[in-house]
Structure formats: structure tokens, C-alpha cells
Structure 1
Amino acid sequence: MPHAARYIGLMSGTSVDGVDGVLLRFDGPGEHAPLELLGSASVPMPQSLRAQWLELQHAGDNELHRAALAANALSRLYAEVVARLLESSGCSAEDIMAIGAHGQTVRHQPGAHDGIGYTLQLQNPALLAELTGVTVVADFRSRDVAAGGQGAPLVPRFHRALFGQSRSALAVLNLGGMANLSAWTAPEGALIGFDCGPANVLMDAWCQQHTGAPYDAQGSWARLGRVHAGLLASMKSDPYFDAPPPKSTGRDRFNRAWLQHHLERAGAGVTPVDVQATLLELTAQTCAEACRRHAPHAEALVVCGGGACNDRLMERLGHLLAPMPVRSSAEHGLPPQWVEAAAFAWLARQTIEGRPGNDPRVTGARGPRILGAIYPR
């Protein structure tokens, strides 16, 4: 296996707003090999396809048919991102060792129902391999679930490989649709990681409903509102926030129906802009509390994901965690919008090279597992 190799990572997350892709070069052996970002690309999720994904979050007529066609459509979108990465970098399909493709999560219920449960990320990796001529690694989460784990989050091991080369004890907060925290005490020290709760998923949905914008850019709308104490207290009373790790979550729990329930409990008089401010404060407080409780020795918090571009959210995190520095991952070598896609390029490399991608201390699995299914070029 060559020590210098190129991998592509593709991510379409809980926000269902688009597909992010990166092309990475890894230099050297092992999971801590230095990496170089050779290219990045993003394409928006077509509104019709986004609507299909949101509908597939719930039971409905002809689900299997609709899911299969949505998976095909997503794989074509993935192939478009791959084509852009190859064109912009001057690479060919033969130059790429593998693509790590996450798929679109539509259900996440580990440990439920029969004691094993499931997590379901839809895509058609065989079609993606046909369209790109590149080996595809997909279905990363199900092996961890089969081993008794949550199947999520899978990024903490990558976070330590990427950001843990210094002697500093760091925490990393990914603010995508959901928020997840990773932390360690030293480069090879004990690793923790779990989903904190909602990050952008509720804020984005509320903003789109009331302003027409897909998200609250820089948190400028939330900045105009006032936090509603009753609504905040009601939302924070959800037992998920105090549950010990390992734990993971998604739209199965934190969705519009969940928000509506808490709005009804809070009573009348909550204006839309105040709801937005309160949702932002929910994310800030639950993430800060998770960091203080589970990563008390962290010397700094590194933030990635789309939420790192929300100035108001970053301000609140900085205030709540002071004097701990709160910094964007861009200050540590990788822009925040590309970190999660890079994680799946790294996970694909782990799979191809026969190394575990999970950490049982994070997911609760019975042990380390090589993750994913391989679809050769």
C-alpha cells in the first residue's frame, strides 16, 4: 500500500443543504499521517431532492421505491462533486485510491427495537463507483451498530489525528445539523466523543420558515431577538442533554415536532425572532455545558462545521467558556466547512488499509472495528 495516496471524502449531513467534497493527499503511514488539502467543492442540494430526504425521515407510502430513487439521485450529485474535484486538481480517477461517501441519514435508531437497532444512510455506492471509475467505501456506521455501538459519532478519532499533533489537550466541536464533541488529554490519551444535541438543524428550519432564507447568516437574525427563558428551560429539560455518553442523536429526536411541543409548553407570546435567539442559545449552552462537564482539562475549543461561520453562536460559546479560547478550525489548518468531508476521506483510508475507524470508548461498541463496505472501481 503506498504511503502517499489521494482520497476523496463526500459528506451530506443532517442539515440536508448540500454535498461537500474534499480531495486529500496523505503522506506517510499510519492514521496520524500528515494530510494536505488538494481541492474542495460543494454543490447545493436540489430543493426537490431535499424535500424527498425530509419526507423519508418519516413513514410514508411507497418508501422503498422513493428511497431507492433518492439514493440514485444523491449518487449522481456525489459524482458531480467528484468530477469537480478531479478537474480543479488536475487529477484523474486512476490517481484516487478511494472515495469515502457518507450517504444521507434518514433514520438513526441504534440499540432500539430489537436491542441492536439500526442506522440508515442512503446512497447507491455501486452507482457512484460506476459513474466515477473510483473505488468507493460506504456504509461506515452499521458495523459499529452491529457491535453494540451507537454508530456515531465517527469523527472523534479523525479529530485527534488531525488536531492532536501538538501536546495540547484540546476539545473539538463540530456544529453541523447536530453538534458533536471530541476531546483528549494528550495525542495518545483517552479519547471521548458524543453528540451534544442540535446545532443548526432547528435554527435553519425556523429561519427558512419565517424569513425564507435557508439559514441565519452569521446569526444576524438571532442577534435581534431575546432569549425566552421559559422556552429555553423547557427545551433543556429534555433528558438527552443530561444522559451520559456514549450517545448519539439526529432528526429522529430533534425535529420540528419536538420544537412545536416545547413552544406549546412555553405558551403564547414568543415571537419568531425570539425563538431563533433561543434556539441559538440552546446550542451554545448545551455545547458549553458538555465541554465543561466532559472536557474540563481542554486548553482550547476548536470549532468546525457550518456553525463555526455563525458569528453570534461563536460569540456565545466564547462567553460561556471563558477564559478557554474558542477558535475556528481554520486557525488549525483546515477550514471548518471541509472538516467533516475530510473525516470520511480519512475513514475510507482506514478501511482500505485495514485499520479501525471507530473508537469503542466513543461509540460504546464491543471493540475497534474496520468500518465500511468497499465497492471496487
Structure 2
Amino acid sequence: MSELYIGLMSGTSLDGVDGVLADFSGERMRVLAHQASPFPDALRAEFLALNASGSDEIHRGALAANGLARLYGSVVGKLLQETGLPPSAICAIGAHGQTVRHRPGEFDGTGYTVQLNQPALLAELCGVDVVADFRSRDVAAGGQGAPLVPPFHQAFFSPHGERLAVLNIGGISNLTLLHASAENSVLGFDCGPGNALMDGWCHRHTGQHFDNGGAWAASGTVLPDLLDHMLAEPFLHRQPPKSTGRDLFSAAWLENILKTHEDRHGPAASVDVQTTLTELTAGACADALRRNMPGCTTLAVCGGGAYNQYLMQRIQKLLPGCKVQSSDELGLPPLQVEATAFAWLARQAILRHTANLPKVTGARGARILGAIYPA
């Protein structure tokens, strides 16, 4: 059986698709190729709209899923072209899909998580087995369905030593704590907003999809009362296991907080709101690390947030006893980590190996994750 797998990730930042072709044949996994494709503006806008209830959702969601599968297929094609490999050389593709709702444990005691995807179309387009729908089995077993990357972080980053944490800053931020206890157990959880609120506010006021390097935020001033109101969000103070998404940290959540702040203090300058949102992301991540792994000496940051220099500086300032660095320094560039994790998750499914960590997600036990769509 081939040990070559492709992983595809499109996260809550809604910036596009990252894909990797990974080789698991040696003692240490190697990424052979990485490709990225931005979302077309119309597809990005549709996914953003589908995060909230609206008209004709089933029809619109199905067509958006088809569009995502075609974008996934183009990334797969670029990976194969870069490496000169035929589709037959690849064992499977792990395709995460686009999360539009995430409500585990709610409503009826089970809840749900929805990743729009069309893995059957992707298998048809690429001629490679596809593994998708990774989260729903964990939710069915009473878990949060997230985060799923901590076991991959454990497999890839553990050799770099103890007291190491991995922080992924996508649309939402999540932490993995390696060797978090005397039993060397792994903990992981969503710790709060990542880029989602910052990117949304930046696009609204500058027309840019993100604050490049955090330069706009760096030019403003933190509004202490606004920050305190944001940090009072109950989710930030819940004990793990926990997960969240745009269902909570949405434009509506921000507007409600800003309205209260304006009633008390008058309107805030848009740049100062951006600075405060950046401080919210940094503060929530730093506080979660201090509370759950006070002895952490190294924090490896991945995801798009790793390229926000101002955000990285703020996290470092809030964690003076911890070295905050890019995951690149541990051998895997920030934009490759999550895609590689889904290549690993696809391999676990093909081999019929369990892939969730019950202590992380809260599931009743270890489960094989993902549905397989043969080529």
C-alpha cells in the first residue's frame, strides 16, 4: 500500500485551501509538496453567509460544496504536477470540508457539526480515494468533534521535547499541550477567536481580507473597557474539553459588544477596535496556556496567525517565560500543519486506526474517524 497521502484544509479563516502531499514511509513524515489556492470572492462570501440561517440553504450549500470540491481538485492537480506523480501513486486524500455550523452536544444532547463538502465529486475528479467527514463520529460518541489535530501534533512535534505547546491560529484558535502532566498525556481545546473577528473587521473598514502583518492593529490603541467586556465571554472561562466556531464568535457577537461599549463610552475608532480584537486573540490564547500548562517553555504557532507579527509580539509579551516561535522552526511551516494533519487523519482511517483523543474531545472512547469514498 502506498504511503503517500494528500491532505486538504480550508479553515474558518475562509482565506482558501491549503494542500500537501505527504510521505509517511520513513521514520519521520515528510511533506513533498505544498500548494494553496485562495477562495474566489463569490465562494468565500457564500460560505460566510452560510454560517448563519438564510433562505434556500440546502440548495446554496450543495452548490457551494460542489465549488469547494472543484477547488480541492485543482489543488490536488497542482500537487501531482509539482511532484510528477500519477493519481495511482496516492493512497488517499483527506478532505476536511468547510465548517459552517458547529454545535456539538446542543439541542438534543448530541448536537451536530457541519462541514460542507462533496467528497464523491472530488473522488470522481481526481481518481483517488477520498476520506472526509472526520468530525461527526466523535460528536456521535458524545465528543466535541474538535480539535482533531492534537494526536497529529503529538506524533510530529513530541520529539522536540517536553513542555511544548502548539497553538494553531486559524479563524478560531486551538491549543495542543504536549506532555501536559506527569503521565505525559496530551490535552487540546479551542481557546477562543483567532483571525475570524480581526479579518472580518479589517475587511469591513479597509477592504482588505486581513490585516497584513498586523500593521493596522499596531497603529492603534487597546481599549481596556472593550477588551474586558470581550474577555468576559463565558466560553473563554470554561474548562476543556471545549470547542467553538463562528456560531459564537461572529459579527453579531462583536456588534452586540460594540453597541454596549458605545452606549457607555461613545463610538470607538475602527483602528482601536482592530487593536483590541488582536489583544483579545492574544490574551485568550496566553491565558488558556497559563491556566492549563503553566510550565510551558516553548509555544509553536501555526496557521495564518503565525504571519501576523504584531499578534506574535503580543503573545510573546503576555508569556514572558515562554519562547513563542513559528512552527517552521520545528520543521513544518505554519500553513502546512493542518493540511498535513488531515493527510495523517486520512491514513488513520485507511488503516482502520483510531484518531481522536477522548481526553481532548470528551468522546466516550477512541473512534475511527472519517467516511471513505473509493475512486
Q: What TM-score, normalized by structure 1, do the two folds share? A: 0.97
Q: Structure 1: which 4+ aligned runs deviate by more than 2 Å?
A: 166-169
Contact map agreement 1:358 1:369 (CA 8 A) in 2 = yes
Q: Which residue of 2 aligns with 1:79?
A: 73
Q: Which residue of 1 aligns with 2:19?
A: 21
User: In 1, Cα distance between the equivalents of 2:184 and 2:76?
Assistant: 35
Q: Which residue of 1 aligns with 2:31?
A: 37
Q: Which residue of 2 aligns with 1:301?
A: 299
Which of 245, 251, 262 is matched with 1:250 structurally?
Answer: 245
Contact map agreement 2:199 2:210 (CA 8 A) in 1 = yes
Q: Which residue of 2 aligns with 1:12?
A: 10
Q: Does 1:288 align with 2:286?
A: yes
Q: Which residue of 2 aligns with 1:101?
A: 95
Which of 69, 94, 104 is matched with 2:63 structurally?
Answer: 69
Q: Does 1:193 align with 2:191?
A: no
Q: Which amino acid is 2:223 matched to? A: H
Look up the SS of the partner of 1:269 in the other structure. Answer: coil
Q: Does 1:208 align with 2:223?
A: no
Contact map agreement 1:164 1:186 (CA 8 A) in 2 = no
Q: Which residue of 1 aligns with 2:232?
A: 237
1:312-351 correspondence runs (5 A) = 312-351=310-349
Q: How many residues align?
A: 371
Distance apart, 1:182 and its partner CA: 0.2
Q: Which amino acid is 1:309 matched to? A: Y
User: In 2, Cα distance between the equivalents of 1:42 and 1:287?
Assistant: 26
Contact map agreement 2:354 2:366 (CA 8 A) in 1 = yes
Look up the SS of the partner of 1:27 in the other structure. Answer: coil
- Gaps (5+ residues) in structure 2? none
Contact map agreement 1:8 1:99 (CA 8 A) in 2 = yes
CA deviations on 1:267-309 (whole Å, 9 max, x unpaired) are 2231000000000000011100000111122221010000000
Q: Which amino acid is 1:307 matched to? A: G
Q: Does 1:162 align with 2:160?
A: no
Q: Which amino acid is 1:347 matched to? A: L
Distance apart, 1:179 and its partner CA: 0.2
Q: Does 1:226 align with 2:221?
A: yes
Look up the SS of the partner of 2:79 in the other structure. Answer: helix
User: In 2, Cα distance between the equivalents of 1:224 and 1:154?
Assistant: 36
User: In 2, Cα distance between the equivalents of 1:299 and 1:324?
Assistant: 4
Q: Which amino acid is 2:77 matched to? A: A
Q: Which residue of 1 aligns with 2:41?
A: 47
Contact map agreement 1:234 1:265 (CA 8 A) in 2 = no
Q: Which amino acid is 2:220 matched to? A: G
CA deviations on 1:192-212 (whole Å, 9 max, x unpaired) are 000011010000000011111
- Gaps (5+ residues) in structure 1? none
Distance apart, 1:186 and its partner CA: 7.3
Contact map agreement 1:185 1:297 (CA 8 A) in 2 = no
Contact map agreement 2:69 2:122 (CA 8 A) in 1 = yes
Q: Which amino acid is 2:34 matched to? A: S
User: In 2, Cα distance between the equivalents of 1:283 and 1:58?
Assistant: 22
Q: What TM-score, normalized by structure 2, do the two folds share? A: 0.97
Distance apart, 1:354 and its partner CA: 1.2
